[in-house]
Structure 1
Amino acid sequence: MAAYYIREIKREDFDEAVQLYITVFSSEPWNDILTVNQVEQYFNQLYKMNTFLGYLLIESETERIIGTCLGYEAFWFKGSYFFIDSFYISNQYQGKKLGQFFMNSLEAAIKKKEIPTINLRTGKDYPAAHFYKQQDFSELSTYTYFTKEL
């Protein structure tokens, strides 16, 4: 059985992580139409933040990236929290408990940084919502998410 580990993302990891992002989010259920340039801009914008935190799930034997978490530490009157902007696993590794392993490892890494909370948003009807509930995330009924097209 293959072994896996997580580590913080480095700038030189972007090409592989961008390709994985495009592969995952171009597939069901998202079916996004993405370009390398768009996704590179997204990665670079997050990476430029002085509070950026990103992690990779790596398959030990091949050193391939099979999962990515991009986010940042944010500060609020109740203290800091880690906001997950993207969390994804390679399609061929989904359903094998690696998302759970990645999340557990991520939680340990965030806890070591003395960040007490993880926040994220996802579509209510996506499998990701079910995954996060299985990982003991709580759906907040006191907040709602708004958007406005301009």
Structure 2
Amino acid sequence: MEFKQYIAQDLEKCTTTFIDVFNAEPWNDEWTVENATRYLMDFTNTPGFFGLVACEQEDLIGFIFGVRRAWWSGDEFFIHEMCVTPNHQHSGIGSALLNELIQALQPFAIQNITLLTDRGIPAEAFYKKNSFEEIERIVFLSKDI
């Protein structure tokens, strides 16, 4: 397995991976190629964007997209999306991607990594297993309009 920094030519493979992951259990989303591409491009076009991809030979098997941003206690990295192809999940690739991300962020003096995820799905357990902690004072709110 090889890790490399995301480049624009990776977008199509990242989109396919994203759809394969999030249109399946437990999310059961209904992403199309068009809206998933637009969604991921919103991240890649954001100032401070940084992405890593995991590859096996020519196959993209996972990625992390996020953004470096200023925070009062020091710069942080916010993970917007992370996924590993379904047939490669539970094999250590996600943890390896996180470890590679930590190494890649060292030159930027990042103080912490943050993210949002759904409660009660495998991602919650995965992040907690990888030393992420809930912040009790944070409440995520939403309103349909």
TM-score (norm 1): 0.92
Residue 51 in structure 1 maps to residue 44 in structure 2:
no
Secondary structure class of the residue paired with 2:136: coil
Residue 20 in structure 1 maps to residue 13 in structure 2:
no
Q: Which amino acid aligns with 1:40?
A: T
Residue 107 in structure 1 maps to residue 102 in structure 2:
yes
Distance 1:47 1:98 in 2: 22
Offset of residue 63 of structure 1: 2.4
Offset of residue 48 of structure 1: 1.3
What is the CA deviation profile of residues 65-122 of structure 1, one whole-angstrom value per residue up to 9, with x for unaligned ones?
A: 1001111112122121000011100100001111111111111112232212100010
Residue 65 in structure 1 maps to residue 65 in structure 2:
no
**Which aligned runs of 4 or more in structure 1 are off by greater than 3 angstroms?**
none
The 8 Å contact of residues 6 and 106 in structure 1, kept in 2 or not, is answered as no
Distance 1:98 1:43 in 2: 21
Residue correspondence of structure 1 range 78-97 to structure 2 within 5 A: 78-97=73-92
2:131 counterpart residue number:
136
Residue 7 in structure 1 maps to residue 4 in structure 2:
yes
- The 10-residue stretch of structure 1 (47-56 or 124-133) with the greater mean CA deviation from structure 2: 47-56
Distance 2:40 2:93 in 1: 23
TM-score (norm 2): 0.95
Distance 1:130 1:37 in 2: 30
Offset of residue 139 of structure 1: 0.8
1:41 counterpart residue number:
38
Give the root-mean-square deviation of aligned CA atoms. Answer: 1.0
The number of equivalent residue pairs is: 145
Residue 98 in structure 1 maps to residue 93 in structure 2:
yes
Q: Which amino acid aligns with 2:3?
A: I
Residue 30 in structure 1 maps to residue 42 in structure 2:
no
Distance 1:97 1:47 in 2: 25
Q: Any gaps of 5 or more consecutive residues in structure 2? A: none
Q: Percent identity?
A: 28
